[in-house]
Amino acid sequence: MPPQPTAGRSTARTKKAPQIQLVAAEEATAVEVADETVDTLLDEGRSPADVLVLTTGDQHPWAQHELSFGEEPYWRQQAEGEDVFYAHATAVERTTARPVVVLVVNGGTDEEAARALPLALAKASSRLIVCGDPQRLRSLL
């Protein structure tokens, strides 16, 4: 006789929620702190393709540089998925999920930063690292 299903036991696998980490940074130094965080991730063995960096204020300098070559080559880099990808949080719908997302709260309004948090979390499959002012972030949550 075949085994009978057990009540209450699910065979579906549940998705594990990403780990959330806060790295304290002032708005003016958040990009620098995020860069150091990315360097640490890479030094620990993370692949550059595993990391997405989103900013809430000015674009990251690397994104500005890459965008100077045009939108098409910039977004192609994301599709190729070979390196850390930098984007503004307002473009999060256009970015693809990665294991690690670094959200840089380097400006923008409180409303924009608050909106970016859940969107960044949705893009992170294993870890969300938020670089910003802890007091400001607590008030947003």
State residue 16's pLDDT score.
85
pTM of the model: 0.88
Q: Write down the pLDDT at residue 99.
A: 98
Going across the sheet that includes 19-24, the strands are 19-24, 124-132, 98-104, 51-55, 85-88
Give me the average pLDDT of each 10-residue run along the chain (141 residues). 46 74 96 98 97 97 96 95 96 95 95 94 97 89 69
* Dist. CA 68–CA 53, nearest whole Å: 18
DSSP run (H or E) holding 55: strand 51-55
User: For residue 140, what pLDDT is reported?
Assistant: 79
Per-residue model confidence (pLDDT) at position 43 = 98
